[in-house]
Amino acid sequence: MITLLTDFGTKDAYVAEMKGVILSINPSVQIIDITHDIQKFNILQGAHALASAAQYFPKDTIHVAVVDPGVGTKRRPIIVQTKHCYLIGPDNGLLYYVAEKFGVIKSVEITNKKYMLNAVSSTFHGRDIFSPAAAWLAKGISLKEFGPEISDIVKLEIPMPQITNNKIIGEVLHTDEFGNITTNIPSEVLNKLEIKFGDKINLKFGKNTLSIPFLRTYGEIAVGKMLALIGSENLLEIAINQGNAAQFLSMQIGTRIEIIKGV
């Protein structure tokens, strides 16, 4: 099984060209789209989406990820074998979250032209290098055939929450299409403030402080009202029931927030 994640969008034929290449080499493989609507060149957002999705796919799934502003430059095309899955893409940090999440077994640089398209363009390695590599890997070609082992894949800074004096300092990791705001604060960290369902929390950001209830799910508060909850990624989430919290609060990836227990 091969998945695809890119910032190519779906209006052009680029994603289809990748699928055609894969299926020409390996017609029996199943291809699943993760998303092609990563914000263009936003490696951080791509890394986060990939890490969210990968854990739900079967063991040994091959994930091809292409958010690649440096395509055709010296950045390396790589394959990373983790304890749960394989990752293929540019070595620009995009694969780092998910590689760290599962633990790396082995990484190689793709250098063997035998497993690339005959003519490799300078601008579309998704089609010319990453897709063929995925198709051949799914066919059973072993990692060492693709190129030399490497041990220094490019890192991406993973923002970690800090807890001091009953205050958690975190940041916005992600806002979704509903406008729900996912922070980088896992439920285990929030638990240290001893907040129970129904309690209030104080959310500080910029010059604002809001007091909002901590609940189980959106529908536990009236439509249009704000709440805090543990979302489906086990992270603290700020949301408005059937509304768009990210828009309402003007929050985006990286917005710094503080959480303290309310009264």
Q: Which residues are near a second copy by CB under 8 A?
A: 1, 3, 8-17, 19-21, 23-24, 27, 30-38, 40-41, 49-50, 52-58, 61, 69-73, 75, 121-124, 127-128, 176-178, 216-220, 223, 229-232, 234, 237, 241-242
Q: How far apart are CA 35 and CA 33, in angstroms?
A: 6
Residue with tokens 């060149």: 41
Nearer to a second copy, 159 or 179 (CB): 179
Q: Quick one: which of 178, 97, 110 has its CA closest to 141?
A: 110
For a second copy, which is the closer residue by CB, 203 or 230?
A: 230
Minimum distance, C-beta of residue 61 to a second copy, in the bound complex (Å): 8
Read off the amino acid at residue 157.
Answer: E
Question: Shortest approach of a second copy to residue 153 CB, angstroms?
Answer: 19
CB of 72 to a second copy, least distance (A): 3
Give 187 or 211: the residue with its C-beta nearer to a second copy: 187
Selection from 55, 58, 143 nearest residue 107 by Cα: 143
CB closer to a second copy out of 111 and 166: 111
Q: How far is the CB of 162 from a second copy (least distance, A)?
A: 25
Q: Rounded to the nearest whole angstrom, what is the least distance from the CB of residue 1 to a second copy in the complex?
A: 7
| Distance of alpha carbon 177 from alpha carbon 186, whole angstroms | 21
Helix (H, G, I), strand (E, B) or coil at 230: strand
**What value, to the nearest 5°, has the Cα angle with vertex 94 and ends 134 and 125?**
45
Cα-based angle 160, 166, 171 (whole degrees, multiple of 5): 30
